[in-house]
Structure 1
Amino acid sequence: MAKADGKRIRRKARRSPVGASPGTLIADPSAQQTRLTLTLIAAEKTRTVQDAGLNDVVKSRGHWPLVWLDCTGLADIAVVEEIGRIFGLHPLALEDVVNTGQRPKVDFYDDHAFVVLSMIDDPATHRYEQIAVFFGDNFVVTFQEREGDPFDPVRKRIESSSPNRLRTRGADYLAYALIDAIVDSYFAPIEASGDMAERVEDAMLNSPQKQQMLQLQQMRRHINALKGVLWPLRDALAAIVRSEVSCIHAETKVFFNDTLDHAIRLIEMVETERDTMTGLIEMHLSLSQARTNDVISLLTIVSAIFIPLTFLVGVWGMNFDPDTSPWNMPELRAYYGYPAALGFMVAVAVAMYIYFKRKKWL
């Protein structure tokens, strides 16, 4: 879910037309142009082909122990279908690739596995992107909606001259490294959200402001979106750990189990922050209500002080003539009547203030 021009944009899963044949691939009109990056991996050397063609992919098959094809942009359906034919990918899985917005999941087929994940490709706007990962005996294929991913550390490890597991182990370990990078990329925005919540809390305790409620509500919305992504992600990783398929070796499951632990930790962090956001929103409402009550109390006290003064002013302001009768306010002719009346009213106001203070109403 992202924001544009102050408005929320809801991400909806695309679906094939009603009645379409299973495995029908239909491009999204807004999809980016397809671009292929081919990474060829051996224990002694590696090679990366930018803007690779399908012929490069076909030639690499059988000549390199491990092939990683990264497809960015899903506009060219013909290329997606040809990739599926080259690697023997299941058509139903390819349908999930182009119909973005899928729930994170894992599916196992005869000779390969298919994992759908969501990753944050723009932490500033909390924009999510679907990424699909296929892996078999000697290949890994990834499909991304657009440029930008957390795979740079994995690429650097592959290109490193020092020996490492990514160049000596199989495709399942490379798939683990990519999935682990996606899972770990959630830590930074979640921790940043927690830091932001602490800053808002400190500012709110000093002076509650209206915009703080808006910030908290937006942060809680983002946390809820993360929760909706991380729970199915945990289930998918648990399914991989429990799986008994030939394309995932037992020693690699140990690493997948570590990634599962990371996902569980992320869920715990999200749950904690969600409770924190809810508590801060309730505290903001309480502080705002308390501030309103203080204002109302002050206005009530001021009104209570001025009520008797207003009564006195009203009585002395009546048009009585002391020449008509000695009962018609003879004090109107007093030499010091005006300052005496003001002094008396001040004394009444001070006496009421002291009384309210002793009652702790002020």
Structure 2
Amino acid sequence: MIRTCAVDKDNQIVYDVPLRDLNNEHTVWYWVDFSEPTDQENSLLRDFFHFHPLAVEDCLDELIERPKVDFYKNYLFFLLHSIQQTTLATDEVEVFMNSHMLVTYHKQPNRAINNSWVRLKKEEGLKKGPIFVLHSIIDQIVDDYFQPVFHIEDALNQIEENSDREAVNELLDKIFDIRHDMSKLRRSILPMRDLLYRLLNSENVSFIEDQRFYFHDIYDHLLKLSEMLESYREFSADIRENYMSFNSNKTNNIMMTLTIITTIFMPLTFIVGIYGMNFDYMPELHIKYAYYMVLIGMACIAFFMFLIFVKIGWLKIGNKKNRRNRHSSK
């Protein structure tokens, strides 16, 4: 689908303008949006607009490219990353722009493009020119990054508090999922930050001077997002290490308990093994109270070894402290 709008010399906005009428002398500038284009519509990038083959290839390529800005002779080419809010999947948005045109291209319906189109149509922001529309699109794309990042922050706080008393393995699985989501966001946010930095510091885009402060505001947002992701990566790594240490310590305590039990039963098993041998002549077997004496002796040995383990600190009886509530209600 292709939708068009144009601003004429009378400062009037005209929608659904045929492509053949876009370059007439009455048009000041125009916006053409390719949404889910067909093969025939794709050919217009090369045959009608005569864009550079490399830029057209970036549009048609199925692979997700890194966000970038290329400076061609008569226009700029932007490759932007838009994030789907639920899955964090990356959608490419390509933009061709100069002072007289803006061409946007996206293979899937795009929230940022659609929101910008509707808002600018309502506010008549199209009259402010293509650079203003470009700012609106990039600003909407960057604003859509914040919600997933805030969601990651909330998820990490919930994992740290663990108010639901979930098992350590489940918490670790959640942490790995969160770090995977952060990696997805980093692959878009960091290159977008570099793109804005290059745009703001390039000598080839003098026509953005009037909007420089607005683009700098977007760059500040991307800096904030990248710093937030870095802090969350460190935070998640600390939580992961804490839970892994806790899990390892718990496993060690279980193994120690089992070892102590096995050690206590070793001499008892030795005694039972001796008197379980099938010899005809074993003097102790003929003593009247030998059975009770052996039982008492085994009990004493077990109790004595139990006291030794308690004394050296391998077994702690009655020393468990209640877990401190770090988030007590005020």
TM range (shorter): 0.7 to 0.9
Deviation at 1:259, TM superposition (A): 0.7
Question: Which amino acid is 1:285 matched to?
Answer: M
Deviation at 1:298, TM superposition (A): 0.8
CA distance in structure 1 between the partners assigned to 2:258 and 2:91 by the alignment: 54
Deviation at 1:293, TM superposition (A): 0.8
Q: For residues 32-56 of structure 1, what are the alpha-carbon distances to aligned partners after superposition, in whole Å with 9 as ceiling and x for unaligned? A: xxx112244589765654xxxxx72
Answering whether residue 193 of structure 2 is matched by residue 231 of structure 1, we say no
Match of 2:244 among 273, 285, 291: 285
Give the conservation status (yes or no) of the 8 Å contact 2:189–2:222: yes
Query: 1:179 maps to which residue?
Result: 138
Distance 1:169 1:314, change over 3 A: same
Match of 2:179 among 198, 201, 220: 220
Question: Which amino acid is 1:37 matched to?
Answer: R
Query: 2:2 maps to which residue?
Result: 36
Question: Which amino acid is 1:94 matched to?
Answer: V
Query: 2:295 maps to which residue?
Result: 342
Give the conservation status (yes or no) of the 8 Å contact 1:183–1:263: yes
Q: For residues 166-216 of structure 1, what are the alpha-carbon distances to aligned partners after superposition, in whole Å with 9 as ceiling and x for unaligned? A: 244221111011011111211111221232233334449955443443333
Give the conservation status (yes or no) of the 8 Å contact 2:32–2:104: yes
Match of 2:112 among 150, 157, 178: 150
Give the conservation status (yes or no) of the 8 Å contact 2:5–2:30: yes
Q: For residues 304-329 of structure 1, what are the alpha-carbon distances to aligned partners after superposition, in whole Å with 9 as ceiling and x for unaligned? A: 111122223233444566xx6xx811
Match of 2:58 among 87, 96, 99: 96
Distance 1:73 1:207, change over 3 A: closer
Give the conservation status (yes or no) of the 8 Å contact 1:112–1:247: no
Query: 2:102 maps to which residue?
Result: 140
Give the conservation status (yes or no) of the 8 Å contact 1:237–1:260: yes
CA distance in structure 2 between the partners assigned to 1:299 and 1:86 by the alignment: 78
Query: 2:311 maps to which residue?
Result: 358
Question: Which amino acid is 2:312 matched to?
Answer: K
Distance 1:262 1:241, change over 3 A: same
Query: 1:72 maps to which residue?
Result: 35
Query: 1:260 maps to which residue?
Result: 219
1:299 alignment partner, SS class: helix
CA distance in structure 2 between the partners assigned to 1:72 and 1:180 by the alignment: 19
Give the conservation status (yes or no) of the 8 Å contact 2:156–2:236: yes
Answering whether residue 74 of structure 2 is matched by residue 114 of structure 1, we say no
Give the conservation status (yes or no) of the 8 Å contact 2:131–2:211: yes
Deviation at 1:281, TM superposition (A): 3.2
Match of 2:270 among 307, 311, 329: 311
The number of residue pairs the alignment matches comes to 312
Give the conservation status (yes or no) of the 8 Å contact 1:117–1:132: yes
Deviates more, 1:214-223 or 1:256-265: 214-223
Deviation at 1:130, TM superposition (A): 1.1
Question: Which amino acid is 1:73 matched to?
Answer: E
Deviates more, 1:275-284 or 1:82-91: 82-91
Match of 1:250 among 209, 213, 231: 209
User: Which consecutive segments of 4 or more residues in structure 1 shift more than 6 A?
Assistant: 42-45
Distance 1:135 1:349, change over 3 A: same
Unaligned segments of structure 1, at least 5 residues: 1-34, 50-54
Q: For residues 106-158 of structure 1, what are the alpha-carbon distances to aligned partners after superposition, in whole Å with 9 as ceiling and x for unaligned? A: 1122332111011113x333311111011221322111121232344423431
CA distance in structure 1 between the partners assigned to 2:162 and 2:28 by the alignment: 57
Distance 1:328 1:48, change over 3 A: farther
Deviates more, 1:40-49 or 1:80-89: 40-49
CA distance in structure 2 between the partners assigned to 1:200 and 1:112 by the alignment: 48
Question: Which amino acid is 2:105 matched to?
Answer: F
Query: 2:324 maps to which residue?
Result: none
Deviation at 1:64, TM superposition (A): 5.1
Larger helix proportion of the pair:
2
Deviates more, 1:350-359 or 1:276-285: 276-285
Unaligned segments of structure 2, at least 5 residues: 316-330
Deviates more, 1:347-356 or 1:57-66: 57-66
Deviation at 1:103, TM superposition (A): 1.5
CA distance in structure 2 between the partners assigned to 1:61 and 1:331 by the alignment: 119
After superposition, the CA RMSD in angstroms is 3.0
Distance 1:332 1:187, change over 3 A: farther
Query: 2:283 maps to which residue?
Result: 328
CA distance in structure 2 between the partners assigned to 1:330 and 1:338 by the alignment: 8
Give the conservation status (yes or no) of the 8 Å contact 2:112–2:140: yes
Distance 1:278 1:181, change over 3 A: same
Deviates more, 1:351-360 or 1:241-250: 241-250
CA distance in structure 2 between the partners assigned to 1:61 and 1:193 by the alignment: 47
Give the conservation status (yes or no) of the 8 Å contact 1:72–1:146: yes
Sequence identity (%): 27
